[in-house]
A and B are shown apart, each in its own frame.
With several copies, the nearest count.
Chain A
């Protein structure tokens, strides 16, 4: 069922109407630029600038950061970002390019930075003028985030940073990075501190950004090497040694379990790409099955294929209804129970849907991006491979299950 059909507060109802009207006139038209599947896969400056223009427009119109206070560049509204998101979804707009900024950096900065830094950083983050990236993972530190080794040494009111971060999406466009650093080697958790560090302005001056190539052959991820980068102490978030707690704010929002709703657009691309996030995801398997011949008959007539597609349709609807239920107090026991399932569930549904799609395509799933005969422009074999990025990154599915078992079911820690 559509997000529109909700009991709004008066403020929300009025704001929704405003969004509808504004989007009717201002939702960007289709573009000749081939947009990537997700913001994390932005490759070209053309793509970036097209999407930045859109985010700027939406910000100026008040559709981005609606629930943040006016002082930090927000809209000062109450629980309105959801409204804007659902209207942008309905209007099938492109997505916002500054996805890490909006989803992780903004709430982290908002809850943990010094006041003047919030005013300095957040407006350009909301407008998309400054792209953000995240520096958590390291070669030796993937699932075990608290084992990061990249070190910050204090020199007066400066910090000198040395080390190596990986899987930093968008680093090649980013102005800023939120980064978890080790400031004390003698304590695992208490030895961590959290900073905002400059990237683009420091390239060649202590920061090197190198692209990492995915198994798909695409780039998009980077590794970032720090060689005596100097950062002012005012860019530290919260106290020295409190980095882990700050990181929890970032992760909670990344998992959709944070207090602030992330500004999200993107109906257009998501629909076109059959992403599990939209109600067109599993149904796009139906279209695929109708169009693919399987041994002389449409795959849609194969009862085993039908059964498998329906499983995904049901899982997808269940996922959507779970998100709906999280907002209904009376039908929730533990408020974290469903939000903490979000990332695990979404990434595994995506993976299984993409794998099923390749089964529906059969031998034709062997055809890749450049092949004219590839069904759906080979997006399914591509999506299947990329789905492992989602089940691995930002806490593997294995780590997600630990978190759920421990925080929701109260089982003893596995580590």
Chain B
């Protein structure tokens, strides 16, 4: 199978992207976002979630959580490039919501390909938000690492680094059973489920640990690894798309500042010490963006290469996110170091995303095994 030269990105995808961009900027422009999530500056602030549930409802009604749900399960079954475009816009807006978590969940559920998974997908189509509880307490990126056990229809143990868990209605849990690893579905508020929110740096997300004490759960598949292998490329690609959108916001905001802020009787963008690193930032963003759409297109048309291209996209996007965020703060100077400046919202989100689902070096190591160790 082979990819269309245009990434399969047509009018429908462009319309979705444009309406998403409009939705986010109309409903939560950056100043409003700052008011919403950065009202408390104290490092010891409460862990209460800062988001706009009514906007989330509208997003659900717009069908954004069912984009990646197969039509067979009542979803829209759209291309991954469309989903990537939506995630890119969510990142550009640094939008606080369980969108990415829910989309990730739909990819994993679709990969389970079971009756239970279809039922779970239908719950999401019905408007539920969901997230993945598949990471162990040490935050391992390896699919096989797990601190949750499943026996007699019940889960026990701990999952950590669960994204937007306070915003989710359901969880997909990875757990070890007698003969291997399985995936399980249960309501976040179900009996035996205890969520402890983390105190995190990122203001635009929430994260937490989930303790399972003999919590009843439905088996989605008894064989998690093939399902994860199928879904991870999409999960890596979508977080990368989010970083690309956020990186572009950082680039444009910093360039705008460099065009207007004057020092030494010049706009600071005159100085090559500012100009050239901004160009390097642009190049890193463009590379990451191109790799994201290539990976998304592979998911749609060239699945045998999706893993390889997704490793490239996430490695590039993670390194880009750290570099661009650092330059954005640096070139905003003193004001960029303050709480009132919006840049830190993106700096924190980007550094959070960079480590999520594997950092640049881990993805390169995986890629190297793929490209260098094959006979």
**Are B264 and A331 in touch, CB under 8 angstroms?**
no
Complex Cα distance, B251 from A337, in Å, reads: 13
**Given A217-B339, A341-B283, residue A310 in contact with residue B41 (CB < 8 A):** no
CB-defined contacts of B336 to chain A, threshold 8 Å: 215, 388, 392
Q: Is B214 an interface residue (CB 8 A)?
A: no
Q: Is A321 an interface residue (CB 8 A)?
A: yes
Chain B binding surface, main DSSP class: helix
- The 8 Å CB contact of A310, one of B9, B142, B315, B329, is B315
Q: Is B368 an interface residue (CB 8 A)?
A: yes
Closest to A137 in B: B334
- The 8 Å CB contact of A144, one of B10, B42, B263, is B263
Q: Is A370 an interface residue (CB 8 A)?
A: yes
CB-defined contacts of A318 to chain B, threshold 8 Å: 286-288, 290-291, 312, 316
- The 8 Å CB contact of A362, one of B207, B290, B359, is B359
Name the interface residues of B326-375: CB closer than 8 Å to any CB of A. 326, 329-330, 333-334, 336-341, 343-344, 347, 351-352, 355-356, 359, 361-362, 364-365, 367-368, 371-372
**Are A314 and B312 in touch, CB under 8 angstroms?**
yes
Chain A proximity mask over B319-331: 1 for CB below 8 Å, otherwise 0: 0001000100110
B176 shortest CB reach to chain A, Å:
14
**Are A310 and B290 in touch, CB under 8 angstroms?**
no
Q: Is B129 an interface residue (CB 8 A)?
A: no
CB-defined contacts of A166 to chain B, threshold 8 Å: 334
Q: Is A31 an interface residue (CB 8 A)?
A: no
CB-defined contacts of A351 to chain B, threshold 8 Å: 326
**Given A310-B368, A363-B161, residue A295 in contact with residue B286 (CB < 8 A):** no
A144 shortest CB reach to chain B, Å:
4
Q: Is A358 an interface residue (CB 8 A)?
A: yes
**Are B267 and A325 in touch, CB under 8 angstroms?**
no
- The 8 Å CB contact of B371, one of A283, A293, A385, A413, is A283
Q: Is B3 an interface residue (CB 8 A)?
A: yes
Q: Is A225 an interface residue (CB 8 A)?
A: no
- The 8 Å CB contact of B290, one of A286, A321, A402, is A321
Q: Is A330 an interface residue (CB 8 A)?
A: yes
Closest to A303 in B: B365
Complex Cα distance, B264 from A406, in Å, reads: 16
**Are A142 and B334 in touch, CB under 8 angstroms?**
yes
Name the interface residues of B230-282: CB closer than 8 Å to any CB of A. 251, 255, 258-259, 263-276, 278-280, 282
Closest to B290 in A: A321
Q: Is A37 an interface residue (CB 8 A)?
A: no
Number of interface residues of A (CB under 8 A): 100
Complex Cα distance, B161 from A365, in Å, reads: 11
Q: Is B30 an interface residue (CB 8 A)?
A: no
Among A100-108, A170-178, A226-234, A393-401, which stretch is in contact with chain B? A393-401
Chain B proximity mask over A322-341: 1 for CB below 8 Å, otherwise 0: 10110110110000011001
Closest to B329 in A: A388
Chain A proximity mask over B132-166: 1 for CB below 8 Å, otherwise 0: 00010011111001000000000000001100000
Complex Cα distance, B339 from A314, in Å, reads: 34
CB-defined contacts of A405 to chain B, threshold 8 Å: 269, 275-276, 278-279
**Are A321 and B359 in touch, CB under 8 angstroms?**
no
Closest to A414 in B: B272
**Given A314-B367, A327-B6, residue A413 in contact with residue B287 (CB < 8 A):** no
CB-defined contacts of A410 to chain B, threshold 8 Å: 255, 259
**Are B275 and A401 in touch, CB under 8 angstroms?**
yes
Chain B proximity mask over A72-88: 1 for CB below 8 Å, otherwise 0: 00000000000000000
Q: Is A53 an interface residue (CB 8 A)?
A: no
**Are A300 and B372 in touch, CB under 8 angstroms?**
yes
Complex Cα distance, B367 from A317, in Å, reads: 13
Closest to A212 in B: B338
CB-defined contacts of B179 to chain A, threshold 8 Å: none
**Given A306-B365, A314-B315, A318-B287, residue A217 in contact with residue B293 (CB < 8 A):** no
**Are A324 and B5 in touch, CB under 8 angstroms?**
yes
Complex Cα distance, B326 from A321, in Å, reads: 26
Closest to B343 in A: A215
Complex Cα distance, B9 from A91, in Å, reads: 29
**Are A213 and B41 in touch, CB under 8 angstroms?**
yes
**Are B294 and A324 in touch, CB under 8 angstroms?**
yes
- Most chain-B Cβ atoms within 10 A of its Cβ — which of A295, A311, A366? A366
Among B67-75, B90-98, B107-115, B195-203, which stretch is in contact with chain A? B195-203
Among A1-9, A120-128, A201-209, A269-277, which stretch is in contact with chain B? A1-9
A220 shortest CB reach to chain B, Å:
11
Q: Is B226 an interface residue (CB 8 A)?
A: no
CB-defined contacts of A294 to chain B, threshold 8 Å: 140
**Are B5 and A7 in touch, CB under 8 angstroms?**
yes
**Are B315 and A366 in touch, CB under 8 angstroms?**
no
**Are B7 and A296 in touch, CB under 8 angstroms?**
no
- The 8 Å CB contact of B291, one of A321, A391, A409, is A321
**Are A1 and B294 in touch, CB under 8 angstroms?**
yes
**Are B200 and A371 in touch, CB under 8 angstroms?**
yes
Complex Cα distance, B341 from A141, in Å, reads: 17
- The 8 Å CB contact of A215, one of B202, B275, B341, is B341
Closest to B273 in A: A398
- Most chain-A Cβ atoms within 10 A of its Cβ — which of B5, B7, B44, B209? B5
**Given A286-B371, A366-B200, residue A411 in contact with residue B352 (CB < 8 A):** no
**Are B351 and A411 in touch, CB under 8 angstroms?**
no
**Given A295-B145, A321-B294, residue A310 in contact with residue B7 (CB < 8 A):** no
**Given A321-B291, A328-B9, A388-B336, residue A314 in contact with residue B282 (CB < 8 A):** no
**Are A330 and B13 in touch, CB under 8 angstroms?**
yes
**Are B200 and A368 in touch, CB under 8 angstroms?**
yes
- Most chain-A Cβ atoms within 10 A of its Cβ — which of B140, B266, B341? B140
**Are B337 and A313 in touch, CB under 8 angstroms?**
no
**Are A413 and B161 in touch, CB under 8 angstroms?**
no
Return the 10 tightest CB-CB contacts between A and B, nearest first.
A318-B287, A411-B269, A363-B139, A321-B290, A6-B5, A370-B199, A215-B344, A310-B364, A213-B339, A405-B275
Question: Can you name 27 A-B residue pairings with CB atoms under 8 Å?
Answer: A5-B4, A5-B5, A142-B333, A217-B339, A295-B362, A302-B361, A303-B365, A313-B312, A314-B316, A318-B291, A322-B290, A330-B11, A341-B282, A362-B141, A365-B355, A366-B198, A367-B198, A369-B199, A385-B347, A392-B336, A398-B272, A405-B278, A409-B255, A409-B279, A412-B267, A414-B270, A415-B264
